[in-house]
């Protein structure tokens, strides 16, 4: 079996009054600074019913070549520094980390 890319998925609700743009630009800078992150996509929910999104508003998906690369990202001093800030601005969070099964690929 081919190696799977490793995905780090984060879904959050920010605290009231937080300037989310600053947090997001910090995150974009973080992933651009750390080579282990090979791609980063994020978005703000615009569609789901409240009962389905349960207050969560933002989704972030980072992709790594391997779990080892993900671990090196976690241990990176810039990530450690950013996490300390991030943990203070979130109301709630869900995080899943998984080897990605690519079931349908773009043609």
Where do contacts with a second copy occur on this chain (CB under 8 A)? 4, 7, 9, 11, 28, 31-32, 37-48, 52-54, 56-57, 59, 61, 63, 67, 70, 93-107
Closest distance between a second copy and the C-beta of residue 6, in Å?
9
Q: Of 2 and 44, which has the nearer Cβ to a second copy? A: 44
Measure Cα distances from 91 to 29, 72, 76 in Å. Answer: 22, 26, 24
Closest distance between a second copy and the C-beta of residue 82, in Å?
14
Q: Which two tokens stand for residue 90?
A: 């979130």
Q: Tell me how far apart the alpha carbons of residues 1 and 43 are, in angstroms, rounded to a whole number.
A: 31
Measure Cα distances from 74 to 47, 55, 107 in Å. Answer: 31, 26, 33
Q: Tell me how far apart the alpha carbons of residues 12 and 9 are, in angstroms, rounded to a whole number.
A: 10
Closest distance between a second copy and the C-beta of residue 10, in Å?
9
Q: Tell me how far apart the alpha carbons of residues 7 and 42 are, in angstroms, rounded to a whole number.
A: 13
Q: Of 54 and 81, which has the nearer Cβ to a second copy? A: 54
Closest distance between a second copy and the C-beta of residue 68, in Å?
12
Q: Of 16 and 41, which has the nearer Cβ to a second copy? A: 41
Q: Of 77 and 103, which has the nearer Cβ to a second copy? A: 103
């Amino acid at each position: 079996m081919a190696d799977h890319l490793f995905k780090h998925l984060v879904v959050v609700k920010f605290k009231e009054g937080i300037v989310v743009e600053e947090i997001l630009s910090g995150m974009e800078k973080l992933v651009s600074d750390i080579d282990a992150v090979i791609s980063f996509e994020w978005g703000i929910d615009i569609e789901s019913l409240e009962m389905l999104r349960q207050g969560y508003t933002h989704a972030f998906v980072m992709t790594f070549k391997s779990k080892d690369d993900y671990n090196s990202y976690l241990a990176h001093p810039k990530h450690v520094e950013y996490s300390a800030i991030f943990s203070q601005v979130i109301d709630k969070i869900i995080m899943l980390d998984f080897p990605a099964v690519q079931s349908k690929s773009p043609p």
